[in-house]
Structure 1
């Protein structure tokens, strides 16, 4: 089964420029029995209780884009580098991780659905978009990039009377990191 991401206007970068229309990028799954041993060993080491739900080749153009909420600009675009995007379940937790072909972990994030939001995050939404309300889709993303632990909250907000949705990534202090452009429900 292939995983396909539709990149809408302003949601992800494509070859260094904002997409002006819808573009579809396909993450090709790794076939059963063809999993790279170095990557599988690293996953077992990093996530001992893990159940790998998906393992796919990540197109280099997507390395460092929205799925991992990186803001440091460190994007490797070397066409020779091969990356693997892994979806993992470990108990009630879900993770996304990015490994290179040698089994080096480049990035991981833990996603907590329906997270309790700090007051600073709630206040940041109210200030930035007073005519919106936070809807049920709230994520606490704990990530480890280059040995540095980051916490970011991803909230979906909805315009009260029109049903327009936006996404916001906000740090625990209330600093807005990124916004995802609106879409109609």
Structure 2
């Protein structure tokens, strides 16, 4: 009985390893868009959506990657140009950095924007005054995520009191999501 149990355990572990390896990585070509080759519809939409923003890079996202968690090893080779469906644009705006995904017609599909030194909502200022009296705000960031019409906003506030530092994360209503303590200096 003991041998059967050990054999079963080894078989389960081997099956799990094979499954993990088969879903671990898949190579997909991603191409940087050269300056001057950007689609006009995407550039026009960028000007409207991120006024004053500067494009730092644009890449083609294959349809198979859109809407999925992924990491990419960039290649400058796409075999079938008709498969180009989406463009990822990384840029810098007046108040921070952004990353946006547009379809080939210039429709904004999703974006993430990190705004440095954002103006904190009254609800967050109130929570800071009540729960972190004596702490000094040393910096903050607002993170805005948009995906198919849904917007999520979160704030990270850096605080300092004497030699202690911490980051406090808030949702858009001012509710504390978590607090990360940093080392004392």
If each structure's strand is expressed as a fraction of its own residues, which one has the higher value?
A: 1
Tell me which protein shows more helix as a share of its residues.
2
Q: Which has the larger radius of gyration?
A: 2
Give the TM-score taking structure 2 as reference length: 0.49
TM-score (norm 1): 0.49
